[in-house]
């Protein structure tokens, strides 16, 4: 699903550099990424999704060299193939919860919004424990509720790849366990691939493989 070789990246300002000689994630694999803050874990997710572009190297996602696509094609590929759970949620304050969950369907022709999708969104929200908050604005939610809405949005299109940046970081222990169960069931039922950044080492035994990202910091 993911194949990276000889990747180099740095931000225009600052001394941070990321160098990844080789990194692969197989189809249907569930991989956790650990490492200290500032080591580049979120940067990697942004590179894989095409939000950031590498300086050099080869990066394939689902056999597509994402970094070679035009801006609009990268966006459509990202929305149609990747479910991204952002650490800061990326919810739109002026939309209610349901419209935030449905938002990927409104910004691209790569996805078709119909009644079935709306029903699935409501079902996902109910499983996440926010089914009674679909008409609330995103600003009216707690941090944990925002996190659950963001996970619903990522799962709704049934993506082939899920990138999760601290997906359970704002959840209490009970909700963390329940939502992790839902995330893993969704991945397994749709034969998807999961790449998850986490600082919660209690979760690591649930993954197929754990990568220490400090090894990639140059």
CATH number of the domain that residue 29 is part of: 3.40.50.300
Angle of helix 143-155 relative to helix 97-106, nearest 10 degrees, comes to 30
pLDDT (average), residues 202-216: 87
Distance set, CA 43 to CA 12, 66, 202, 214, 216 (Å): 13, 15, 23, 13, 12
Report pLDDT for 182: 82
State pLDDT tens for residues 4-17.
999 999 888 878 88
Output the DSSP codes for 89-149: ----TTSBHHHHHHHHHHS-TTS---HHHHHHHHHHHHHTT-GGGTTSBGGGS-HHHHHHH
Phi, psi (rounded to 5 degrees) for 84? -110, 120
Full domain range(s) for residue 136: 2-216
Report pLDDT for 186: 84
pLDDT (average), residues 87-104: 93
Whether the per-residue pLDDT at 70 is higher than 90: the answer is yes
Whether the per-residue pLDDT at 215 is higher than 80: the answer is no
Going by pLDDT thresholds of 50, 70 and 90, the confidence category of residue 38 is confident
Phi, psi (rounded to 5 degrees) for 180? -65, -40
Query: Strand 82-85 and strand 161-165: pairing?
Result: parallel
Going by pLDDT thresholds of 50, 70 and 90, the confidence category of residue 213 is confident
The token pair that represents 41 in the structure block: 């874990």
Look at the chain and report how many structural domains it folds into. 1
């Amino acid at each position: 699903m993911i194949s990276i070789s000889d990747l180099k990246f740095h931000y225009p300002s600052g001394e941070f550099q990321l160098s990844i000689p080789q990194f692969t994630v197989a189809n249907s694999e569930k991989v956790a990424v650990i490492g200290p803050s500032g080591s580049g874990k979120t940067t990697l997710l942004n590179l894989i999704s095409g939000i950031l572009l590498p300086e050099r190297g080869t990066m394939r996602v689902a056999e597509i060299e994402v970094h070679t696509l035009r801006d609009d094609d990268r966006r459509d590929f990202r929305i149609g193939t990747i479910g991204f759970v952002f650490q800061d949620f990326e919810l739109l304050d002026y939309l209610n919860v349901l419209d935030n969950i449905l938002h990927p369907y409104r910004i691209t022709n790569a996805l078709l919004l119909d009644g079935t999708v709306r029903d699935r969104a409501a079902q996902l929200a109910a499983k996440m424990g926010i089914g009674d908050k679909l008409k609330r604005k995103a600003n009216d939610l707690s941090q944990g509720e925002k996190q659950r809405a963001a996970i619903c949005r990522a799962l709704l299109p049934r993506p082939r790849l899920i990138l999760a940046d601290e997906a359970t970081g704002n959840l209490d222990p009970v909700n963390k366990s329940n939502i992790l169960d839902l995330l893993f069931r969704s991945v397994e039922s749709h034969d998807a691939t999961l790449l998850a950044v986490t600082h919660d080492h209690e979760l690591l035994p649930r993954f197929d493989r754990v990568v220490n990202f400090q090894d990639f910091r140059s």
